[in-house]
Chain A
């Protein structure tokens, strides 16, 4: 592909920058790196365009050349491009140097085996040291800027590969003494020196004359990689670089310097520091950090060398310089800063932290520095924010928070104030008119007042709660602060219940010192409400968080009153969440009533179901188990949504498991009465079950679907009452009922079991006719008898009799249906068969082994059933 046009490149660069990953995943991604390198040499592209291409390679070498070989190839190509530039001024040389450096360092190709490294390093060093590279390389006018760039490139390479320039220390020192820009050289020398010291200390070696080696050491021969190879270890995650940490980590104490080496080192550092005023403030700060690091813990190198710089630095408003000074303070402590110096530094820091001429971010950073001030003799545990000992309340006066401060400034100052309150605790009661604590209380009150503004921005509310949290955190042990805080927050809730989510959040985060009293106060606050206001939603949310076993009656009566106003789904769910919280807290009696009411009263089916579920859980699970069932599942990560959490909590408990039948069912003796036939099921309990639900299915749709039967609890060995199962036959016929059981086990599992089918006999469907008035029975029967024809049918059959005779048979099987009895001569029997059939029997004079039966029915289909029934009677006994 030929070189791309300017427009195409501009568009490509734009697309790439918008989303590098998307571009690289696209069709053009693969070629971008290659095209870029080749088009850098294209005659068609303008210089600015090429600079833009190089700028891209400075930022995204990883995307363009993703592995070390590609990076190596790219660096080689960039160097070739550089060498091939015509010897006239060009804006490309600088970015090309930077790009080659970036490609090597970022691509991981910087090593002794790399050809590009072997070319770049001597080139950079040559440029930097002002060696004449020949007019063909660059015109004289560009030499100065390129020299500075070369220094920067070397410094970056040294940063990425510590020790790389260890062999050049002598050369760098010599150059620093000559003319030329001091800044890049100073910074590079300081960095290389620091790295060399660290590497040599690890190796247990001295400086081995590195500082005094002449300029010739690096000329001509191959690059000295020795120190860099050892330096590989150095670019590992370090121990805390803040020098106050363990001294040994840096390990410089192990460095054995000969007296001569120590002198040379001192001279080098002094040389660097003396020229430091020539550096820009930010570069001075870097130099101080580097030298501080380099000399920390090094024997025989008194930090006094830094002293002359300090006074100058103390006066400035420059953030980096004060920060560097704090680093020196941390590195050398008392060896560099006496107690008076420490006090002065604190004073300047305090001043800078509030100086009206400085911007807010600077103030905040200085405040942070104050609370993390590297004291000579810290009292408290390290790593915790604390007010330095020498920072008296007088110094802090200007750092007190006020409502007019920006939120961040307010919080930072509030933290300081809290720390002062802790110190002030001992001085309490000594008649101070305006102690920090009073100030704190007024401030918090003001914050609450602002948060209470209706329609005020959420940020104000957030700030108020952050402040409350901070105070509770810092002053947890001071009831004298927490009591008014609790009261104030309760008042805030009263004024603006819409802040409920903030309160819930606060309760979740603060320690028990504030949590407990605040919970009680808020519960009282909510429970005292009439429960029908607009803020109901918030009250319910609040209550779900604070409700517990105490003061149940107030809570419950609030809920009862609220229930009537919970008209939409959201409110109902909120209400139920409170119930759930109460369930977990182990609230019993009153809650059961409420849940039952809710199950009836709530309009939404979901709400009803939940209420019922909670009721069932409450009724059947013991306290600890209830907690398990309602608590979040430990196995699955908790989600923020309460609905999801609820389902997850139940997942384990409600997962239905197949199990062998825990009970046996049988159809017991029936009572022929009522409007419909009712099966009386006998239960034999094999193991304890809770919340049993029996479901029945009629095979063949002979009856209408049957309702489930619920049993709260069954235990083996305890007497059980028979279960009543009403039947609604569609035809008067016997049937089989398939039975399934759903129940909970004592371990909280929900199980499912198939029970053996139940047989409904023909006789189980028999119902008596209403009793006719006394004396009219015969007429009643005859009327029925006549009405069966012509629609129905008549039959005669022989019903065998056992040894007991007819009387016994009738009394055992047909008693409820006898209309007219003239024992032992005849019985007239009328049976109603739901839905609307009848069976009439005339049992006449019994003979030795049987009785003739005349029967009529209005339903043909009944005839064979009746026949079987009658013939089976004697066998049934």
Chain B
């Protein structure tokens, strides 16, 4: 249930090592247990240098892809989870939980309380999910509000103290690191009776509950008769409950608008105390019919102090809000693109902002753009190989806008340009946001 070591590694392709260990923490008492539990199959946690190298290789993040390497490219070397065996000093350190997110590799080694040969199934190792939770927690902490490098460095420097608080001996006590930071800063808070561990203090002031809903639409539009377009709404309900008392009881009830599509695939925050079975079973796996549960969706809960994601859901709306047409033609070093966007009439034509991102992958920087837009302006991010079409706060009356242009790219300079495995050649996508 404990972690033997934790690392944060910034992935910097193009540098000699391919990355830098930004943070590492070892847990010697857990390591001692690992030695006993694992017995002959025990592999010690390596030092940062060798681990960095081996992990980057295992994650295929070193840049030398030129030649076939059996230890990396063999067909039988299959990883179906973010849990790896990392070769170190002739042995394999396993299990290493690791993933890359926004240029940072998060890694840890959970304790396995038994022998490692034969390898037990991952599902039987309690430390795996704890490890993930720890890494997600660190990730949330680093990414919350962070914009600049110096902010990131400040947060990294706080990590050591934070882990001393939330994970002093390798067993995670709270994945919400921000909470711990707050409790360090307000050490004098007196704990009342039965104060929940996930609530660092109490609120004093005017009671208010704020709720916001964010929805994202993923859509694939084929512009072909024989293939049906697909789209899905993914929503998240975020809450902030400023209420007095140590454990106020709150019930939040969500209702659909008239003719709204039912919510499905609902996942709730652990502070929700009970759930209607209709909410538990409503799922996009099932065929849609009128019997689908359409609310109201009630969530009785005891809220934490901070803002939290009350629930995530998906939904099937009858039409995608924006219909798009995007065509790419490659002519030597130039790309000719055509974009048409049409706002569906059922959507209110008023936005805080609306823009379309047109990224280009696996190419050099943009050197020249000629374009014609029926509406809005185009911003060019040359080094990022990105075009942003700023549509503004509303579509024109026709609800239809178009952009066509020719983009010239410079020579590919491997390290910096965006890379994507799928967007090769004429394969590309477009993202609209509002």
Contact = CB atoms under 8 A, between A and B. Distances in A.
Interface in A359-381: 359-362, 364-365, 367-369, 372, 374
A456 B424 contact: yes
A242 B123 contact: yes
B123 A326 contact: yes
A180 interface: yes
A501 B275 contact: no
Given A19-B49, A398-B285, A465-B75, A282 B65 contact: no
A272 interface: no
Interface stretch (B173-181, B331-339, B349-357, B399-407): B173-181
Interface string A754-773: 00000000000000000000
Interface residues of B, number: 105
Interface stretch (A212-220, A343-351, A422-430, A743-751): A343-351
Which are the 10 A-B pairs with shortest beta-carbon distances? A242-B124, A317-B267, A357-B312, A501-B68, A323-B129, A183-B197, A469-B75, A361-B82, A412-B80, A179-B193
Interface in B1-41: 1-2, 24-29, 31-33, 36-39
A72 interface: no
B232 interface: yes
B79 interface: yes
Contacts of A327: 124, 126
A391 B341 CA distance: 40
Given A360-B99, A415-B80, A355 B267 contact: yes
B285 A351 contact: yes
Contacts of B265: 351, 355
| Residue with the highest number of chain A CB atoms closer than 10 Å, among B113, B272, B425 | B113
A364 B312 CA distance: 19
Nearest to B173: A283
Nearest to A506: B75
Contacts of B283: 347, 351
Contacts of A360: 82, 99
B279 A315 contact: yes
Interface string A461-477: 11001101110000000
B421 interface: yes
A855 interface: no
Nearest to B362: A457
Nearest to A314: B280
A352 B266 CA distance: 9
A180 B302 CA distance: 19
A241 interface: yes
B9 to A, nearest CB: 14
Interface string B160-197: 10001000110111111000000000011011111111
Contact of A459 (B24, B130, B236, B421): B421
A156 B29 contact: yes
Interface in A369-422: 369, 372, 374, 383, 394-395, 397-398, 403-404, 407-408, 411-412, 415
Given A282-B130, A318-B270, 4 more contacts: A240-B124, A311-B274, A361-B82, A458-B68
Contacts of A357: 234, 236, 267, 312
Interface of A: 17-21, 55, 58-62, 94-95, 98, 101-102, 105-106, 108, 141-142, 144-145, 149, 152-153, 155-156, 159-160, 179-184, 235-242, 244, 275, 277-286, 289, 311-312, 314-324, 326-327, 330, 344, 347-348, 350-352, 355-362, 364-365, 367-369, 372, 374, 383, 394-395, 397-398, 403-404, 407-408, 411-412, 415, 450, 453, 456-462, 465-466, 468-470, 501-502, 505-506, 509-510, 640
A311 B194 contact: no
Interface stretch (B114-122, B203-211, B255-263): B114-122
A679 to B, nearest CB: 56
B114 A239 contact: yes
A469 B191 CA distance: 58
A505 B75 contact: yes
Contacts of A372: 121-123
Contact of A141 (B31, B49, B187): B187
Interface in B93-129: 97, 99, 101, 113-115, 120-126, 128-129
B158 interface: no
A286 B194 contact: no
A462 B74 CA distance: 7
20 contacts: A59-B28, A142-B187, A156-B169, A181-B197, A237-B36, A237-B114, A242-B124, A275-B194, A278-B195, A286-B126, A311-B280, A323-B123, A324-B129, A357-B234, A357-B236, A362-B132, A404-B422, A456-B424, A505-B68, A505-B70
Contacts of B133: 281-282, 318-320
B75 A106 contact: no
B370 interface: no
Contact of B169 (A145, A152, A319, A505): A152
Contacts of B372: none
B65 A457 contact: yes
Contacts of B148: none
A364 B129 contact: no
Nearest to A159: B33
A462 B75 contact: yes
| Residue with the highest number of chain A CB atoms closer than 10 Å, among B33, B72, B234 | B33
B269 interface: yes
A269 B25 CA distance: 34
Contacts of B113: 238, 241
Nearest to B28: A106
Contacts of B60: 459
A275 B270 CA distance: 14
B413 interface: no
Contact of A108 (B32, B126, B422): B32
B130 A394 contact: no
A312 B274 contact: yes
Contact of A356 (B76, B132, B218): B218
Contact of A59 (B26, B70, B272): B26
Given A156-B29, A289-B126, A180 B191 contact: yes
Contacts of B284: 351, 398
A361 B81 contact: yes
Given A179-B194, A315-B267, A289 B1 contact: yes
A351 B168 CA distance: 34
A43 B172 CA distance: 34
Contacts of A323: 123, 126, 128-129
A316 B176 CA distance: 16
A869 B177 CA distance: 111
B371 to A, nearest CB: 28
A21 to B, nearest CB: 6
B78 interface: yes
Contacts of A351: 265, 267, 283-285
Interface in B243-265: 265
B47 interface: yes
Contacts of B2: 159
B343 interface: no
Given A238-B114, A315-B266, A320-B129, A283 B422 contact: no
B268 interface: yes
Contacts of B234: 356-357
A108 B105 CA distance: 33
Given A152-B169, A182-B197, A316 B175 contact: no
Given A152-B168, A362-B132, A314 B74 contact: no
Contacts of A280: 173-176, 197-198
A513 to B, nearest CB: 15
A321 B269 CA distance: 11
Contact of B81 (A344, A364, A403, A640): A364
B73 interface: yes
A59 B25 contact: yes
B75 A352 contact: no
| Residue with the highest number of chain B CB atoms closer than 10 Å, among A281, A359, A509 | A281
Given A323-B128, A365-B129, A312 B275 contact: yes
Contacts of B99: 359-361
